[in-house]
Amino acid sequence: MRLARRRFLTLTGAATAVAFGTNLPGTAVRTGTTPSGGLTGNPFTLGVASGDPLAGAVVIWTRLAPKPFEPLGGAPYKPVGVDWQVAKDEHFRQVVRAGRATARPEFAHSVHVDVQGLQPGRHYWYRFRVDGYLSQTGRTRTAPAPGQRGGQLTLGVSSCQSWPDGYYTAQGHLADEDVDAVVFLGDYIYEYGIAAAGGLRNLTDPVPDQFRTEADTLDRYRLQYALYKSDPNLQAAHLNAPWITTWDDHEVQDNYAGLTSKSNAPVEDFLVRRANAYRAYWEHLPLRGPAPQGPDYMLYRRFTFGRLAELSVLDTRQYRSDQASGDGWKADSDARRDPARVLAGQQQTQWYLAGLQHSRATWNVLANQVIMSRMDLDPTPADLYNMDAWDGYGAEQKVMLDGLAANRHRNPVVVTGDVHAGYAMDMKRDFADPSSQTYGVELVPTSFSSGGNGVEVSANGTKFLAANPHLKLVNEKRGYCVLRFDERELHVDFRAVPYIDRPGAPVSTVHSFVVEAGNPGLNTVAGEAVR
């Protein structure tokens, strides 16, 4: 499987300069079966994926799109039967589950199969077949049995993959990591229009004209996903392991808040756009049904990995109040601390804290979109807070942080996206006092691509280090984190590439930490200085 992934990644240099003709290069194999779906070419141009692993089940996904940049992906407007198989081995000599799903045109011919009856804690391989075409083979893994003790869990974690900001080199390296699952923390697409040259990709084969405008209709969001998912490195990362995803703002619109758009559009108009965006999101990711109902979708959920770890996934966009003080970085204010303003909402907050309190897992991981810990941008005695992060919702932030502190013995670990930088923080009873009790850690893997090549530490990064004594690392290159849990400790590697404005960058570990179970806080590894 590792060799197969490496062969797949050799496409990177050529195939990421996408051939924007009627078809894309792909690895589907024509088997000679009699056609039945009326497809006009390889339907698996957007790859395959799996996600949301349970102890006895996992979701497998594909979308039929022989011409992905045409309406409906070039597939006929009719239901198409798609055969699927799940096996214990990559050669499919031991098929354990198989069936036929229906790819429906109203869902862009996407296929979501919730494969049940699997054994806990083991790898499986899966594939699809339609009209004589056989898809790529994906590898997935079920979660351990709920009561299983011991063992290990390895997660790859990142967020923010703006396609025109550079090549998906980091995803290619993640595809070669031996992880049990990938946790993606939001901004799978960006809604912005894309220039002909594809931004930092600087393509000679231009991006088609239909990508110039910002995504707001269902067809336009579908096009954006098709472009992103056509990238071979992203496809390879999905082939390697199941993904557990959540969204942030750019899957709909930059910094939207619940019913409020960035441009303060009429609510009824914005809800149509939100419904379009949520539908396209579900169509293109390995999520369980049912599909979103209009502008609403229950995305927050919880996963258990034996007695070792529990992972809770938040949605901090759908239910939030409008940002205080006009958004942006602002000084403290009554509006910032108004208890009527929420980020996750009362129902979701209570769901999370009740689950944390009753958890029997050694480690309790919270997958979260925006920074939860205090982050002051002003190193003077004054303060400056991000109104789009938890700092902008001070009352609910306090409820969440107090809940984490009360459950210090449950080893809380918050993983966060959004900011296109790698941060590592001790979570403190008093963030301004370095001697205050530590009750957990917040880890912010950098972005996959958003922000371009990046720098080691920017001017703002230097300010953050000066103003926040609980902040132990800033690195603003592109990459991801690998988290390895066992009963005794969590080992964290921050991994980054030196550039993404051209293919082929190597990956390296820029910093590593260890967190001991029962002793919250970041500890240095291999002599690396932690201030």
Residue-wise pLDDT tens digits, 59-80: 999 999 999 999 899 999 999 9
Tell whether the model's pLDDT for residue 94 goes beyond 90: yes
Question: Does residue 313 contact residue 300 with C-beta atoms inside 8 Å?
Answer: yes
DSSP at 446: -
Could you give all domains of the chain from N- to C-terminal order, each with its CATH number? 1-142+205-241+248-288 (2.60.40.380), 159-180+299-531 (3.60.21.70)
Residue-wise pLDDT tens digits, 173-189: 999 999 999 999 999 99
Tell whether the model's pLDDT for residue 9 goes beyond 60: no
AA letter at 300: Y
Question: Does residue 515 contact residue 408 with C-beta atoms inside 8 Å?
Answer: no
Sign of CA dihedral 170, 174, 176, 177: positive
Tell whether the model's pLDDT for residue 499 goes beyond 60: yes
Packing angle between helix 218-229 and helix 267-284, nearest 10 degrees?
30
Tell whether the model's pLDDT for residue 374 goes beyond 50: yes
When pLDDT is averaged across residues 324-343 and rounded to a whole number, the result is: 97
Angle at 239 between CA 238 and CA 240, to 5 degrees: 90
442 DSSP β-pair partners: 414, 425
Tell whether the model's pLDDT for residue 13 goes beyond 50: no
When pLDDT is averaged across residues 454-480 and rounded to a whole number, the result is: 97
DSSP at 6: H
Question: Does residue 297 contact residue 280 with C-beta atoms inside 8 Å?
Answer: no
pLDDT at 40: 86
AA letter at 494: F
Question: What is the DSSP code string of 101-150?
Answer: EEE-GGGTTEEEEEE-SPPTT-EEEEEEEETTEE-PPEEEEPPPPTT--S
Residue-wise pLDDT tens digits, 334-372: 999 999 999 999 999 999 999 999 999 999 999 999 999
pLDDT at 524: 84
AA letter at 110: S
When pLDDT is averaged across residues 245-253 and rounded to a whole number, the result is: 98
Rg (the chain; Cα; Å): 22
Residue-wise pLDDT tens digits, 391-415: 999 999 999 999 999 999 999 999 9
When pLDDT is averaged across residues 381-391 and rounded to a whole number, the result is: 96
pLDDT at 30: 60
Tell whether the model's pLDDT for residue 244 goes beyond 60: yes
Question: Does residue 516 contact residue 523 with C-beta atoms inside 8 Å?
Answer: yes
Q: What average pLDDT is seen over the chain? A: 93
